[in-house]
Amino acid sequence: MKNYETAVIGHISEDINTDHEGNTVRILGGAVLFATAAAGALGHKVAAITKAAPEDALRRGSLLIPAEDVYFREEARSTSIMNRYLTADKERRICKCVSQGESFGIGDLPADLTAKIYHFAGLIYGDFPDELIKYCAGKGDIALDVQTCLRHADPESGDMYFEDWKSKQEMLPYVRYLKTDAAEAEIMTGTDDRKEAAKLLFSWGAKEILITHNTEVLAYDGKKMYVCPIRARNLSGRTGRGDTTFSAYINERLGNDVPSSLLTATALVSLKMETPGQFRGTRADLDRYVAELYADRPVREI
């Protein structure tokens, strides 16, 4: 039996990205890449559960964790997404699904794997059936990035759009850690007040809420609410912001309180955003960054 702190489940996507100036690049992306990189860099034992079409099997080599901790299966389809960014800060974009990988099921979970946290790091609605979340909730804590519950792909055009999660009231009680960004929180709750949104999401059953924003990260455990500022000195590595933050936070929470976990996660993502791609540093690099830019310990209760 192999025991992990976190098992991250999700597709590796080929992303076709066009910036606001019309420059296009093809890179491998997906929440599972950024999440496992962040957790591994902090020294946590993390597994990746992923799959792709046979011709895309080499995608698993893009993960930065040891190969023995990558659980890969071949399926008929892989995920590929086109992103056209409308602004330099990459906050606004138009997305199109070129292809969507096969949905994950209970049979995709290795029989010899256990984890304290099952991190659902999906990209598109349909990546995970509700039954898989319920099943994993009986094995460990659930960490859910709600993007995979809200972001849909039109089956004809591939155009991607957001709509509320119809089964949220039923499913949120199964979730220990819930991550949204500010826009997703508004879709789910109807309010653009992130504090009120966090309270509503907690009242519907999620035990701990993380809401990312381009200026700060908010954490709420039903008792106290904290925010920590993002202090990235450039945004060249903006892609993967939420995935990096969430993974760092939930793994740190295994042994630390909310404020210290929030500080670590926000500082790490600030450092990551200064360089494109997955976080490739170490905890020592993060410690130096904290000493330089977060020495004032700026986490505050609100």
Mean pLDDT of the chain, nearest integer:
96
Mean predicted confidence (pLDDT) in 200-205: 98
For residue 226, the one-letter residue type is Y
Q: What percent of the chain has pLDDT over 70?
A: 100
Per-residue confidence at 110, pLDDT binned at 50, 70, 90? very high
Whether 252 has a pLDDT exceeding 80, the answer reads yes
pLDDT, position 87: 84
Domain of residue 11 covers: 2-301
CATH code of 281's domain? 3.40.1190.20
| Total domains in the fold of the chain | 1
Whether 231 has a pLDDT exceeding 90, the answer reads yes
Q: What percent of the chain has pLDDT over 90?
A: 89
Question: Cα separations (Å) of 282 from 44, 257, 264, 285?
Answer: 11, 21, 12, 5
pLDDT, position 239: 85
pLDDT, position 17: 87
pLDDT, position 90: 72
